[in-house]
Amino acid sequence: MSQNDEIERIRRIRDRQIQLRDPSVEQKRVQRVISNKRRSSMEKFSLARIFGDIPKMITGTLIGIMIGILTLVILPYFFEGEWVDPVGIGVAAFGAVFGFFFGRAIDTRNALHDI
């Protein structure tokens, strides 16, 4: 090994040691880890996730009520008579009950699937 090779090898070793001891490199690494943890801990707001977390029993009831209210609003445009309002309210009640039991069946199926 020549004198120049030895000097170059020692220079590389010294540069590597300086680089390993450099506090800015460690600080950048720590900041990157902290920002990645914070970014992963923050969850995005999603209506689909909210409806996914609510039991289907409640979701089914709400959907049934909405369909009933929509029927209550639209039905008078197509038919005239005093029977339209009670029918709309009946459809809302039936939709709520049907949605409740349908949602409960889905919740039960999911609970049995998890077993």
Model pTM? Answer: 0.55
Spatial CA neighbour of 69 closest among 92, 85, 86? 92
What per-residue confidence (pLDDT) applies to 101?
Answer: 92
- Please list the ranges in the chain whose pLDDT falls under 50: none
What per-residue confidence (pLDDT) applies to 1?
Answer: 59
81 φψ region: left (φ > 0), alpha (ψ -120 to 50), beta (else) = left
